[in-house]
């Protein structure tokens, strides 16, 4: 009795050619019991192997990631941009009659009858000034310029920044740039244009306060004007400072930190770069250039500012003075009745149309984590220091108004936090290979053997099919390499598996 040639080929292949570990014993000519034990072992190993490979594939397809933290040492580290704002937006003494007539009611300073709403919150000079306003002509000016009003009545650079030392040397006038934000006038140190040369940016070459920035700032608290503007009624007196990457726009109202008068604040920071993997690993924006139109580089702040602008312009038909773009700036009435309420609703997330404007963090973020410590200022010492200058403040005034802020790197290294895929194609192959090898002793070449076997079978089948089985036995062997020998076939037939 001959056997079916296909089964014989398979067994011969399994016993002689295949490198799969168990197969030799299963297909070999040992006793039946041993072969069954080997079959069980083989099937168990195969099951484990399939399960492990399944887990690896699931991990690969669910785009898991791992995080790698590294610390790089460097001899120079880029200094961040530092934006300084007063928490108060408008200065009392800067109001003119024209301002009061146009914005007084809308900002909640005076009521319809031209009386101060909360007279006890203002200085005597301001009350006298309100009393002296000639209300005979009260028409509002349709062309009243809110941008001009915000810049003119905001805190001025020369009043606010009394002293600036960069690495113990006085700063240059051009080191600070004026920026309008939700807090009004702000001044940014080391703010750079998108195309500026990075070599010209400020760098620290050593850690410590002497290699950083020191500012002496005057908050001008007697000038604070309570209004119903965004943060105009803030309960604090102080400054808001924000660190950001030099090409990113500042957004100090939401993202800054505060310093108080009468204190010397020491802010020691570190530099941290976070790199995330784009979709499908995480929801980060790898190239947001097409999302934003008013800024050259995508950043979270730029996107938030864009979104706010879009929403306010869509709702009110005009923009706030601090917003970018070519749309008209809102007049005092629009600002109070539409733009500010819309903005507040948007920021708090209560606006329905807000969903159309989502900002994802960019895939590469530069952070400046810091620690802040303070000491009290020696008021009499500062009084003496200022005595013979144009800013000859008294000790009491200094305690209420002057803050000294030192900002510097705590260590001259930067941390990189990288998100890496848990499985790349290379690790996938390595893990698959490990599993196949551990459980089955199989490798890529085992697959090649299987392929070769199939190829031979197909070729053999094509050539032999028209012939009889007897011919196959005798002649086929010469034509095709893998046709089994008579002995093997007889052995198969005799055991009748």
- CB contact set of 149 (below 8 Å; sequence gap of 6+): 99, 102, 103
**3-class DSSP state of 329:** strand
Choose the stretch contacting ligand NAG; rule: CB under 6 A; options: 218-226, 361-369, 381-389, 444-452: 381-389
Nearer to ligand NAG, 102 or 190 (CB): 102
Q: Which x/- pattern over 131-170 shows residues binding ligand NAG (rule: CB under 6 A)?
A: ---x-xx-------x-xx--x-------------------
Q: How far is the CB of 391 from ligand NAG (least distance, A)?
A: 8
Nearer to ligand NAG, 1 or 137 (CB): 137
Q: How far is the CB of 137 from ligand NAG (least distance, A)?
A: 5
Tell me which residues in 394-433 interact with ligand NAG (CB under 6 A): 394
Q: Is 77 exposed, middle or buried (0-12, 13-18, 19+ CB in 10 A)?
A: buried
What distance in Å separates the CA atoms of residue 287 and residue 133, rounded to the nearest whole number?
Answer: 54
Token pair of 65 as six digits: 């990631």
Choose the stretch contacting ligand NAG; rule: CB under 6 A; options: 114-122, 388-396, 421-429, 486-494: 388-396
Q: Within 10 A of 61 (CB to CB), how many other CB atoms are there?
A: 10
Nearer to ligand NAG, 75 or 389 (CB): 389
Q: How far is the CB of 148 from ligand NAG (least distance, A)?
A: 3
**Distances 395 to 145, 286, 379, 383, 400 between C-alpha atoms, Å:** 39, 52, 5, 5, 9
How many residues sit close enough to ligand NAG to count as binding (CB under 6 A)?
12
Residue from 71, 314, 344, 384 in contact with ligand NAG (CB under 6 A): 384
Nearer to ligand NAG, 20 or 313 (CB): 313
Nearer to ligand NAG, 153 or 299 (CB): 153
Residue from 29, 380, 392, 485 in contact with ligand NAG (CB under 6 A): 392
Residue from 75, 195, 350, 388 in contact with ligand NAG (CB under 6 A): 388
- CB contact set of 218 (below 8 Å; sequence gap of 6+): 159, 160, 161, 162, 391, 401, 402
Q: How far is the CB of 319 from ligand NAG (least distance, A)?
A: 12
Nearer to ligand NAG, 187 or 346 (CB): 187
Q: How far is the CB of 152 from ligand NAG (least distance, A)?
A: 8
In this structure, what is the dihedral angle of CA atoms 82, 87, 93, 95, given to the nearest 10 degrees? 100
Q: How far is the CB of 312 from ligand NAG (least distance, A)?
A: 18
Q: How far is the CB of 60 from ligand NAG (least distance, A)?
A: 56
Nearer to ligand NAG, 137 or 426 (CB): 137
Q: How far is the CB of 199 from ligand NAG (least distance, A)?
A: 32
Nearer to ligand NAG, 327 or 410 (CB): 327
Q: How far is the CB of 399 from ligand NAG (least distance, A)?
A: 15
Element containing residue 269 per DSSP (H, E): strand 263-275
- Before 280, cis peptide (omega within 30)? yes
Q: How far is the CB of 330 from ligand NAG (least distance, A)?
A: 12
Tell me which residues in 225-244 interact with ligand NAG (CB under 6 A): none
Nearer to ligand NAG, 395 or 450 (CB): 395
What distance in Å separates the CA atoms of residue 261 and residue 258, rounded to the nearest whole number?
Answer: 10
Q: How far is the CB of 187 from ligand NAG (least distance, A)?
A: 16
What distance in Å separates the CA atoms of residue 225 and residue 117, rounded to the nearest whole number?
Answer: 12
Choose the stretch contacting ligand NAG; rule: CB under 6 A; options: 157-165, 183-191, 291-299, 386-394: 386-394
Contacts of 56-61 with CB under 8 Å at 24 or more apart are: 56/423, 56/428, 56/431, 56/432, 56/435, 57/428, 59/422, 59/423, 60/423, 60/428
Cα–Cα nearest to 336, from 182, 183, 230: 230
Phi/psi at 491 (5° precision): -60, -45
Cα–Cα nearest to 243, from 268, 220, 265: 268
Cα–Cα nearest to 437, from 449, 445, 448, 426: 445
Nearer to ligand NAG, 91 or 482 (CB): 91
Q: Within 10 A of 18 (CB to CB), how many other CB atoms are there?
A: 19
Nearer to ligand NAG, 153 or 367 (CB): 153
Q: Could you tell me the maximum CA-CA distance found in the chain, to the nearest angstrom?
A: 126
Phi/psi at 104 (5° precision): -50, -50
CA-atom Rg of the chain in angstroms = 39
Nearer to ligand NAG, 327 or 475 (CB): 327
Tell me which residues in 32-71 interact with ligand NAG (CB under 6 A): none
Establish if 96 lies at the interface with ligand NAG (CB under 6 A).
no
Binding-site ranges for ligand NAG (CB under 6 A): 134, 136-137, 145, 147-148, 151, 384, 387-388, 392, 394
């Amino acid at each position: 009795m001959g056997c079916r040639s296909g089964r014989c080929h398979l067994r011969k292949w399994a016993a002689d050619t295949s490198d799969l570990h168990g197969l030799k014993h299963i297909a070999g000519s040992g006793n039946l019991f041993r072969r069954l034990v080997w079959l069980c072992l083989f099937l168990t190993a195969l099951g484990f192997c399939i399960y492990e490979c399944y887990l690896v594939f699931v991990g690969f397809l669910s785009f898991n990631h791992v995080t790698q933290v590294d610390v790089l040492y460097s001899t120079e580290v880029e200094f961040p941009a530092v934006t300084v704002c007063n928490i108060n937006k408008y200065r009392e003494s800067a109001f003119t009659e024209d301002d009061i007539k146009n914005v007084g009611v809308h900002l909640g300073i005076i009521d319809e009858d031209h009386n101060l709403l909360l007279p006890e919150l203002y200085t005597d000079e301001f009350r006298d000034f309100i009393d002296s306003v000639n209300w005979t002509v009260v028409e509002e000016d349709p062309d009243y310029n809110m941008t001009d009003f915000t810049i003119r009545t905001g805190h001025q650079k020369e009043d606010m920044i009394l002293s600036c030392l960069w690495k113990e040397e006085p700063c240059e006038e051009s080191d600070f740039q004026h920026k309008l934000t939700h807090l009004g006038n702000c001044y940014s140190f080391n703010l750079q244009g998108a195309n500026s040369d990075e070599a010209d940016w400020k760098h620290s070459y050593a850690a410590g306060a002497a290699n950083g920035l020191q500012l002496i700032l005057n908050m001008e608290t007697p000038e604070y004007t309570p209004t119903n503007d965004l943060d105009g009624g803030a309960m604090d007196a102080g400054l808001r400072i924000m660190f950001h990457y030099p090409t990113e726009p500042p957004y100090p109202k939401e993202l800054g930190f505060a310093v108080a008068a009468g204190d010397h604040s020491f802010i020691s920071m570190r530099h941290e770069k976070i790199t995330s993997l784009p979709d499908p690993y995480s929801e980060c924006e790898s190239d947001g250039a097409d999302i934003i139109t008013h800024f050259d580089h995508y950043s979270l702040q730029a996107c938030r500012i864009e979104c706010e602008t879009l929403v306010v312009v869509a709702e009110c038909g005009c923009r706030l003075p601090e917003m970018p773009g070519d749309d008209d700036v809102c007049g005092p009435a629009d600002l109070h009745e539409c733009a500010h309420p819309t903005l507040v609703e948007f920021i708090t997330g209560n606006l329905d149309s807000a969903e159309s404007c989502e900002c994802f963090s960019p895939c590469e973020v530069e952070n400046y984590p810091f620690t802040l410590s303070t000491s009290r200022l020696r008021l009499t010492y500062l009084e003496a220091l200022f005595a013979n200058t144009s800013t000859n403040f008294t000790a009491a005034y200094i305690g209420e108004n002057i803050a000294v802020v030192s900002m510097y790197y705590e260590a001259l290294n930067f941390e990189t936090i990288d998100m890496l895929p848990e499985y790349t194609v290379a690790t996938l192959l390595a893990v698959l290979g490990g599993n196949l090898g551990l459980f089955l002793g199989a490798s890529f070449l085992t697959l090649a053997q299987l392929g070769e076997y199939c190829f031979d079978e197909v070729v053999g089948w094509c050539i032999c099919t028209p012939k009889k089985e007897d011919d196959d036995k005798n002649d086929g062997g010469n034509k095709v390499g893998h046709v089994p020998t008579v002995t093997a076939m007889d052995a198969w037939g005799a055991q009748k598996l």
